[in-house]
């Protein structure tokens, strides 16, 4: 009899464990991260900068021609500031003309003494990844290659890039730029950025100058009779998932960098993400490894994640009421100032999102207008804080959802008396 009881007890224990295991598995919506075969990688939401995947994302690495995104970003800035125009002419020096036909470098042929428009050189820089065209743009903007390198680094710091360094507008090693090489650095010096900082640069470019994708989505173009062929193998790829479309952004390849790619994609025209793959396999010029890894990352994000909308005027659990000591009402519940999308594993509900003030909110004084800023909050899902690129990203501005008038003198006096006891 005792033997039977032991067997029965053991079986009950087994089925309890099995049932518990099945229950945990049923509730879990977390999908294992993909194995990305590259030195560094990251995927972020293009609008908010929320990090959806990262691998060695903080480590500065050679980025080769991805550097040209910074060159194009600065050119767009100059045009917006009316310091440059799309139709302005750029005269080509003999050194740049020589570089434009150098063996082993991606280029379009440039003629010494001939002038090309800024628009033509930008197109060549992004579609063909033309090195001499990028260097010509740098000289046009800053006067010399040295000054433009300094401007690149200054701009990087302004947009929040803290690590890494730029030596030239093209991404070539210092010695390959010929007479434009910087004299005070190593011949093998090469532009360096982390995957996270590449994503930040791409985000700023897309946010401030979204029409750049009209160029980066081109598979072919022409430059004075020369057919330019884009290097992005994911353009018009229909195997990325339903509604997923890639429209940029830039490749980069060198012995030190390996094969690199920063991608931009949307699903059904919405919810743009940015992916960065640095240091993928590079066995040949047509090695598709960086695109295979990017496609894997994009598919994983869209298949396993969902963006949850937090509309403007929404309350967030965990964000405490703001105090208005001299108001008719002494507390008020803050709401979000603007709409925000938070990415989460599929199956997650908005109820699982909570927030916490970045700093203790200041006490408000009345009368207080509707929309007065209370503070900034960071989001968490099931207690896990969401991560973002950029120093100020991920901080939601919280505001008052109504106006509050000042309490009359006697009410304020009575409150003051009560505080004494």
- Residue 366 among the catalytic residues: no
Q: Please give the C-alpha separations between residue 199 and each of 62, 249, 292, 302, 369, in angstroms, as whole numbers.
A: 14, 11, 19, 18, 38
Residue 373 phi, psi (nearest 5): -70, 130
68-80 and 145-158 are packed helices; what angle lies between their axes, rounded to 10 degrees? 80
Q: What is the DSSP letter of 33?
A: P
Q: Are 88 and 118 in contact (CB under 8 A)?
A: yes
Q: How far apart are CA 240 and CA 351, in angstroms?
A: 31
**DSSP β-bridge partners for residue 221:** 228
* Residue carrying structure tokens 């006490």: 363
* Residue carrying structure tokens 């060159």: 71
| 270 among annotated binding-site residues | no
Identified catalytic residue from 65, 170, 264, 366: 65
Encoded tokens for 62: 């050679």
Give CA angle at 199 (196, 205), nearest 5°.
Answer: 145
Identified catalytic residue from 39, 55, 68, 196: 68
Q: Which of 51, 46, 16 is nearest to 248 (CA)?
A: 46
Distance of CA 94 to the CA centre of its chain: 38
- Residue 264 among the catalytic residues: no
**DSSP β-bridge partners for residue 380:** 354, 385
Q: How far apart are CA 397 and CA 310, in angstroms?
A: 12
Q: How far apart are CA 60 and CA 276, in angstroms?
A: 13
Q: Please give the C-alpha separations between residue 90 and each of 120, 133, 395, in angstroms, as whole numbers.
A: 10, 10, 42
- Residue 274: HSE in the Cβ half-sphere, 13 Å Cα cutoff: 28
- Residue 162 among the catalytic residues: no
* Residue carrying structure tokens 């401030």: 208
Q: Which residues are annotated as a binding site for substrate?
A: 250
Q: Which residues are annotated as a binding site?
A: 250
Active-site residue list: 65, 68, 129
């Amino acid at each position: 009899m005792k033997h039977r009881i032991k067997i029965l007890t053991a079986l009950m224990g087994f089925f309890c464990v099995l049932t518990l295991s099945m229950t945990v598995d049923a509730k879990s919506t977390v999908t294992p991260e993909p194995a990305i075969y590259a030195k560094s990688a990251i995927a972020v939401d293009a609008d908010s900068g929320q990090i959806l995947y990262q691998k060695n994302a903080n480590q500065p690495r050679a980025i080769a021609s991805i550097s040209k995104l910074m060159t194009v970003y600065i050119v767009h800035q100059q045009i917006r500031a009316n310091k440059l125009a799309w139709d302005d002419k750029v005269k080509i020096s003999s050194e740049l003309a020589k570089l434009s036909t150098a063996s082993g470098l991606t280029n379009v042929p440039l003629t010494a003494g001939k002038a090309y428009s800024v628009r033509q050189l930008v197109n060549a820089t992004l579609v063909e990844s033309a090195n001499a065209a990028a260097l010509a743009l740098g000289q046009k903007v800053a006067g010399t290659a040295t000054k433009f390198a300094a401007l690149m680094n200054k701009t990087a710091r302004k947009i929040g890039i803290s690590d890494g360094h730029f030596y030239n507008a093209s991404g070539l090693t210092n010695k390959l730029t010929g007479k434009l090489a910087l004299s005070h650095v190593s011949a093998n010096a090469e532009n360096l950025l982390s995957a996270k900082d590449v994503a930040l640069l791409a985000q700023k470019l897309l946010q401030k100058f979204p029409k750049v994708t009209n160029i980066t989505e081109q598979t072919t173009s022409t430059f004075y009779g020369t057919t330019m062929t884009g290097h992005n193998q994911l353009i018009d790829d229909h195997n990325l998932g339903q509604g997923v479309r890639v429209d940029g952004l830039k490749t980069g390849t060198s012995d030190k960098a390996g094969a690199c790619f920063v991608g931009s994609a949307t699903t059904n025209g919405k919810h743009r993400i940015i992916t960065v793959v640095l240091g993928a396999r590079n066995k040949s010029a047509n090695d598709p490894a960086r695109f295979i890894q990017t496609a894997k990352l994009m598919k994983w994000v869209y298949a396993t994640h969902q963006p949850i909308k937090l509309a403007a005027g929404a309350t967030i659990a965990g964000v405490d009421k703001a105090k208005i000591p001299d108001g008719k009402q002494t507390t008020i519940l803050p709401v979000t100032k603007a709409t925000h999308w938070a990415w989460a594993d599929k199956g997650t509900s908005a109820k699982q999102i909570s927030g916490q003030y970045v700093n203790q909110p200041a006490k408000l004084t009345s009368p207080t207008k509707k929309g007065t800023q209370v503070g900034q909050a960071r989001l968490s899902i099931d207690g896990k804080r969401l991560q973002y690129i950029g120093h100020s990203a991920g901080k939601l501005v919280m505001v008052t959802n109504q106006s509050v008038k000042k309490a009359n003198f006697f009410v304020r006096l009575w409150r003051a008396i009560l505080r004494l006891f």
